[in-house]
Structure formats: C-alpha cells, structure tokens
C-alpha cells in the first residue's frame, strides 16, 4: 500500500508544470528509504523524489558517452543504494544516489533501429546479479555486478 501511495504521489508531482516532461516517465525505481528515481523517454536525466513525493535534485546529462543517458527504459536500485539505469543506447549503467557515474556496460546490439523505452526493457539488481530484459531482443541477460 505504501508503494502505491508513493507512486501516486510521484505521478502527481510529475504532472506539475515545473516537472513536466514531453514524453512522460518510463521507469521508476525505489530504494529502501523510499526515495524514488524516475527516468523519461526523452532521456538525459533522472528525477529524484523523497518518500513523501517531494522532488529532490535531478541528475544526468543526455548523450551516448559513459555516464550520459539516452531514453530510459528501466531503473533498479540495488541493495547498496546505487541506481542502475537501462537506456535505449543498449547500456546498463550504475550511478550513486546523487548521480555520479560508477560503471557501465553495453548490451549486445539490436541489429537495427532504436529501441522504444515505452514498450520493452526491464532491469532488476540483486545483491550479486543483474537481470536485464533486453530493450529490443527477445532475451533476458544475467550478469554479475561487475558485468561479467
């Protein structure tokens, strides 16, 4: 029930003109303290909200380089609190809660076209592994936290 109320609060906050995004949110992840991280189909940034739905500082920059964000397909917050982002540049990247780039990897290529963050892709991070529903291939990829 708490997650449902938080999700409603975050969605209401996202509807406010100050936070309006042309394509709307496409991914959300939440840490153990209730802080939510929201990504968008327009890419480039992650919005952060506290457990009461108040917007905190956002972070990120658009692009294809390490630490930059394309359109966001999925977000997962790992047990250590770091934020993992799957974007349509076929990448999984790890950031600190404040948005500092930690590490990343590129997934196998889609073989043509750009993935649509509104229709495909998923991400779950456990204490020892990363599970990725590839954003444009019919596969689930399992990796260790060091991307091996």
Maximum CA extent, the chain: 42
Average pLDDT over the chain, rounded to an integer = 84
Q: How confident is the model at residue 109 (pLDDT cuts 50, 70, 90)?
A: confident
* The predicted structure's pLDDT at residue 23: 65
What's the mean pLDDT in 77-82? Answer: 96
Hey, CA dihedral for 47, 100, 135, 36, is it positive or negative? Answer: negative
Alpha carbon distance 31, 42 (integer Å): 23
pTM score of the predicted model: 0.82
């Amino acid at each position: 029930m708490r997650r449902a109320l938080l999700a409603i609060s975050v969605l209401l906050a996202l509807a406010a003109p100050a936070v309006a995004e042309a394509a709307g949110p496409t991914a959300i992840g939440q840490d153990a303290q209730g802080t939510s991280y929201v990504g968008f189909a327009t890419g480039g940034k992650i919005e952060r909200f506290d457990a009461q739905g108040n917007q905190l500082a956002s972070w990120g920059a658009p692009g294809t380089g390490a630490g930059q964000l394309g359109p966001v397909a999925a977000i997962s917050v790992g047990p250590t609190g770091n934020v993992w982002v799957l974007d349509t540049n076929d990448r999984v990247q790890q950031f600190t809660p404040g948005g500092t780039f930690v590490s990343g990897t590129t997934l196998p290529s889609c073989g043509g076209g750009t993935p649509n963050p509104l229709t495909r892709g998923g991400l779950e991070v456990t204490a020892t592994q990363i599970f990725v529903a590839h954003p444009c291939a019919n596969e689930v990829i399992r990796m260790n936290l060091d991307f091996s």
